[in-house]
Amino acid sequence: MNVISASRRTDIPAFHHQWFMNRVREGCVRVISPFGGGEHIVSLKPEEVIAMVFWTKDAGPLVPHLEELTELGHCFTFLYTINGYPRFIEPDVPEQCHTLSVLESMAKMFPEAIVRWRYDTIVLTDQLDRRWHLANFRDLCARLSPFTTDCIISFCDYYKKTITNMNHRVPDHQRPDEAQCREMAEEMAQVAAERSIRVLSCAHGFLVSERIGRSRCIDSAVLAKVVDTRSRAEAVADLKKAPSRNECNCVASRDIGAYDTCGHGCVYCYANSNPDRARRNLGLISVNSDCLDPRAVRTQV
């Protein structure tokens, strides 16, 4: 049995919900490795899936399908990124009023919390300075406290493609040092605690403190709360740590997404090499394909 990650590489709920549901109904998906191009068939049959973890900035398109997923026998949880950034950072992310409406709908369907909030990635610019972030974060904590008890944070990691995109689109971006990050994170943790929200650090061990825990985005403790059978609970207990990058503490999962297929256009995105390529790729993907990767040529119609 596997945990299905949907997906670190793209926003499946926002842009590929119909494709995803077609694959769930078929019971499998073809995944092309982003490193080396090897192909794998991943089962989506309920008896072979522990739980699904959705990574998203807009779960709205998937919400109408959650009842069907439940009826098919699937368990799931959401890592929901909500940053409240202006358009020059997140050009095509929905407005907060839409996000809150979606969260309210999910809360009515699932009284027990299935949403973990991500305030990620923290980007600092002349305009989005420490004071701006603290005020923005305080407002978000007030709005989101009815829907979640966790907030996972991380500061921007400057990969080569991230540097290229940031230099081109946000030339006044700033790189805080570890001391500045710690100070800001501690202030955020204090703000969150006032709303009974716990701040967790993703892949930044230097932020962990008495107030800030260590995040496991694919987390056995969280999965244990959402699974519904003894066999799934036992499978969760057997999951091994499988980090996806430095200081990652996630347990093993199978990611079914593909890079360069997200349409949000966020300047800090690690999963898109550039937003124009991602938008072009979105137009190439058929909802009937057995694979989300734009390199795929074989489809199921």
| Paired residues of 28 in beta bridges | 43
1: helix, strand or coil:
coil
Query: Which DSSP category does 301 fall into?
Result: -
Task: Give residue 163's pLDDT.
Answer: 85
Distance of CA 60 to the CA centre of its chain: 14
Element (H, E) at 73: none
Average pLDDT, the chain: 93
pLDDT digits over 35-77, tens only?
A: 887 899 999 999 999 999 999 999 999 999 999 999 999 999 9
Name the pLDDT band for 300 (thresholds 50, 70, 90): very low
CA distance 20 to 280: 19
Token look-up 């955020």 returns: 188
Residues 64, 70, 75: CA angle, nearest 5 degrees: 115
CA distance 134 to 288: 44
Query: Which DSSP category does 90 fall into?
Result: S
Rounded mean pLDDT, 146-163: 89
- Residue 66: CB atoms within 10 Å: 20
Element (H, E) at 116: strand 115-122
Task: Give residue 21's pLDDT.
Answer: 98
- Residue 72: CB atoms within 10 Å: 16
Rounded mean pLDDT, 290-294: 94
pLDDT digits over 15-43, tens only?
A: 999 999 999 999 999 999 988 878 999 99
Choose among 27, 70, 7: nearest CA to 228: 70
CA distance 143 to 269: 25
pTM (predicted TM-score): 0.95
Task: Give residue 161's pLDDT.
Answer: 81
Which residue ranges make up each domain of the chain? 2-282
Rounded mean pLDDT, 158-170: 85
pLDDT digits over 213-236, tens only?
A: 999 999 999 999 999 999 999 999
CATH C-level class of 2-282: alpha beta
Residues 132, 135, 138: CA angle, nearest 5 degrees: 145
Q: Does residue 297 carry a pLDDT above 60? A: no
Query: Which DSSP category does 213 fall into?
Result: E
| Paired residues of 41 in beta bridges | 30
HSE-up (13 A, CA, CB side) for residue 90: 18
